[in-house]
């Protein structure tokens, strides 16, 4: 390994940290060394979860193996959506009140690039080839398409009122955007970069996610309290999934973020003020368990081995690490004021 890719730094509590960068992966290896005893060293490589905090203007980093907060980065104002480059070499952050997309080095936290004049970016999605970013511009009622090679907006597409959720189909051919006030999902053809369809859904759609096979689209409606399942081929809502939690008022059940297991058999739906994540059987549409997490859970991300789910809980200023085997939270960590978005970078 080239020595230029290595750096050894000492963190608090006597931990020595070996930082290294690869072509596919940028992560932190925590190396605790007993220098005085001569007992040698041990190291642990772990996925890292990167969580935006709206009020602190930071990205907090959680070591998903050790269940600790490892560091924080300062970013632009009111960071919300966040996504990682496919090779783990960069993070793209919506700095909503800075009207920009910031590009971060995930190891050192340095802002290495910035795309300005992106009005009120909320969420974003990366094309499968890693070349384009699709960004919802809430105040502009539009979607920006950003060429990452040029680091510039190459097209703006008008959509409904208050767009937020953005998703790209696994084959890269279809982009979907949810408009909160219009109560609509907009379908955008990636090749022509034009709208090819609009689908009405329940009130205030906040997020959209394709199933891993790309055949279905799940759309969460925060005020409607449901998830609409849309068939991609027919472009029709084929199922509406509702939720009921004992002891929780129906109006507190507000679906937002959605994450699928890698095999597509289970979906996880963040239920906002209900302080729960619904684990849903995709085949039946039934919630098999409601997982208790922090208040006002927004978004989630899965570790690369599928063993853990991490949630950003905006009302309690923390993140909850959930074990998939037990479908139960194992630890919550304070990460900053009003955590919102989350991305995981894979280990080698």
Q: What is the pLDDT of residues 58-81, one digit of tens each?
A: 999 999 999 999 999 999 999 999
Does residue 90 sit in the same domain as residue 139?
yes
Residue 47: per-residue pLDDT: 95
Does residue 15 sit in the same domain as residue 90?
no
Residue 44 reports pLDDT greater than 90? no
Residue 36 reports pLDDT greater than 70? no
Domain count, the chain: 2
Does residue 9 sit in the same domain as residue 103?
no
Q: How many CB atoms lie within 10 A of CB 10?
A: 10
Does residue 24 sit in the same domain as residue 128?
no
- pLDDT tens digits for 263-297? 999 999 999 999 999 999 999 999 999 999 999 99
Residue 93: per-residue pLDDT: 98
Residue 10: per-residue pLDDT: 37
- pLDDT tens digits for 166-216? 999 999 999 999 999 999 999 999 999 999 999 999 999 999 999 999 999
Does residue 157 sit in the same domain as residue 17?
no
pTM metric for this prediction: 0.88
Residue 339: per-residue pLDDT: 98
Mean pLDDT score, 94-107: 97
Does residue 130 sit in the same domain as residue 251?
yes
Band of pLDDT at residue 6, cut at 50, 70 and 90: very low
Q: Which of 162, 293, 292, 278 is nearest to 225 (CA)?
A: 278
Residue 49: per-residue pLDDT: 98
Domain containing residue 29: 1-45
Does residue 273 sit in the same domain as residue 180?
yes
Does residue 100 sit in the same domain as residue 194?
yes
Strand partners, 345: 48
Q: Which of 21-25, 55-59, 91-95, 333-337 has the lowest mean pLDDT?
A: 21-25
- Residues whose CB falls within 8 Å of the CB of residue 86, separated by 6 or more in sequence, listed in order: 126, 128, 130
Does residue 162 sit in the same domain as residue 189?
yes
Does residue 66 sit in the same domain as residue 206?
yes
CA distances to 201, 203, 208 from 179, in Å: 10, 10, 11
- pLDDT tens digits for 114-140? 999 999 999 999 999 999 999 999 999
CA–CA gap between residue 275 and residue 252 (Å, rounded): 9
Residue 45: per-residue pLDDT: 54
Band of pLDDT at residue 346, cut at 50, 70 and 90: confident
Residue 46: per-residue pLDDT: 74
Does residue 95 sit in the same domain as residue 222?
yes
- Domain CATH code at residue 270: 2.130.10.10
Question: 301 or 32: which carries more pLDDT confidence?
Answer: 301
Mean pLDDT score, 252-268: 97
- Alpha helix locations (H) across 164-262? none
- Alpha helix locations (H) across the chain? none
Does residue 258 sit in the same domain as residue 193?
yes
């Amino acid at each position: 390994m080239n020595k230029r890719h290595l750096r050894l730094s000492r963190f608090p509590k006597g931990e020595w940290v070996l930082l290294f960068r690869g072509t596919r992966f940028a992560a932190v290896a925590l190396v605790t060394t007993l220098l005085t005893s001569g007992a040698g060293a041990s190291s642990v490589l772990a996925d890292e979860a990167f969580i935006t905090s709206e009020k602190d203007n930071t990205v907090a980093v959680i070591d998903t193996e050790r269940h600790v907060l490892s560091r924080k980065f300062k970013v632009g104002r009111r960071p919300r959506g966040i996504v990682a480059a496919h090779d783990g070499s960069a993070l793209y952050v919506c700095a909503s009140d800075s009207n920009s997309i910031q590009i971060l080095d995930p190891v050192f936290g340095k802002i290495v690039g910035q795309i300005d004049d992106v009005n009120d970016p909320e969420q974003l999605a990366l094309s499968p080839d890693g070349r384009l970013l699709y960004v919802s511009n809430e105040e502009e009622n539009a979607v920006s398409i950003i060429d990452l090679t040029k680091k510039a907006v190459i097209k703006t597409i008008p959509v409904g009122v208050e767009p937020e959720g953005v998703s790209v189909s696994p084959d890269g051919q279809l982009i979907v955007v949810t408009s909160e006030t219009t109560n609509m999902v907009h379908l955008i053809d990636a090749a022509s970069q034009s709208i090819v369809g609009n689908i009405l859904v329940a009130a205030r759609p906040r997020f959209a996610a394709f199933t891993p096979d790309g055949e279905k689209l799940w759309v969460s409606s925060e005020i409607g309290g449901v998830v609409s399942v849309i068939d991609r081929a027919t472009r029709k809502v084929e199922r509406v999934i509702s939720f009921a939690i004992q002891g929780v008022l129906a109006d507190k059940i507000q679906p937002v973020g959605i994450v699928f297991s890698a095999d597509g058999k289970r979906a996880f739906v963040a239920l906002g003020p209900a302080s729960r994540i619904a684990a849903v059987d995709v085949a039946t549409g039934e919630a098999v368990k409601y997982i208790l997490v922090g208040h006002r859970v927004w978004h989630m991300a899965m570790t690369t081995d599928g063993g853990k789910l991490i949630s950003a809980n905006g009302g309690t200023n923390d993140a909850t690490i959930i074990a998939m085997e037990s479908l139960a939270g194992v630890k919550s960590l304070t990460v900053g004021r009003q955590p919102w978005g989350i991305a995981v970078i894979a280990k080698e």
